[in-house]
Amino acid sequence: MAARDFEMLAQDVRDCRICEDHLPFGPRPIFQAHPDARVLIVGQAPGRRVHESGKPFNDPSGVRLRNWLGMDEETFYDARSVALLPMGFCFPGTGSSGDLPPRPECAAEWRGPLLEHLGNIRLTLVLGRYAMAWHVPEARGTLVDIIGQWRERAPKLFVTPHPSPRNQRWLKSNPWFEDETVPALRKAVARALRQG
């Protein structure tokens, strides 16, 4: 029954057109989820390339993300292992300084009901500030401060920068992230996936 409820909900999301008036390329909700998933990855919203392919993280950000996780593509795209629920499910278009923020209607409408079905999550990975505002509302300080406090939340939750190539400079000036946080994240992911 719960699985059927989840499938009905997932279909409602796929059919959603709530904010279509604000989406320059139209609605195309892109996400991956299953009630058995053990790792939850929360990104921002699909970019243009993902909008076209329909496959989440099928871009340079995804390559870096899978490297951070120590995860191959087969595991990453197995919905029974990994849930990919960005803060907005449709490509919001681009502005003068890159992709626009995720549409706020999306999380307000769908996030709570979907997360209710994901009762097996052992580790949540929060990518960037939009995801953080929802999943770590108590966090105070800059995003860098909060990423640096990873030991306080590990191994159940990690906040990282978005793996976008746009953040290359940030990664270069904060080498501790790939030296210390990423190895701990890989270990926590492997453990979460081993758990039933």
Give the residues lining the site for ligand SF4 (CB under 6 A): 13, 16-20, 27, 29, 88-90, 103, 105-106, 109
Nearer to ligand SF4 by Cβ, of 1 and 8: the residue is 8
**In the complex, what is the shortest distance from the CB of residue 67 to ligand SF4, in angstroms, rounded to a whole number?**
28
**In the complex, what is the shortest distance from the CB of residue 154 to ligand SF4, in angstroms, rounded to a whole number?**
30
**In the complex, what is the shortest distance from the CB of residue 23 to ligand SF4, in angstroms, rounded to a whole number?**
6
Nearer to ligand SF4 by Cβ, of 29 and 62: the residue is 29
Nearer to ligand SF4 by Cβ, of 90 and 157: the residue is 90
Estimate to the nearest angstrom the gap between the alpha carbon of 130 and the chain centroid: 10
**In the complex, what is the shortest distance from the CB of residue 130 to ligand SF4, in angstroms, rounded to a whole number?**
13
Q: How many CB atoms lie within 10 A of CB 141?
A: 10
Q: Which of 121, 104, 96, 99 is nearest to 37 (CA)?
A: 121
Nearer to ligand SF4 by Cβ, of 62 and 92: the residue is 92
Query: Where are the strands (E) in the chain, listed by range?
Result: 39-42, 82-84, 94-95, 98-99, 123-127, 157-160
**In the complex, what is the shortest distance from the CB of residue 120 to ligand SF4, in angstroms, rounded to a whole number?**
23
Nearer to ligand SF4 by Cβ, of 63 and 108: the residue is 108
Beta bridge partners of 123: 39
Reading the block at residue 180, the tokens are: 């210390």
For residue 139, the one-letter residue type is A
Pairing mode, strands 157-160 and 82-84: unpaired
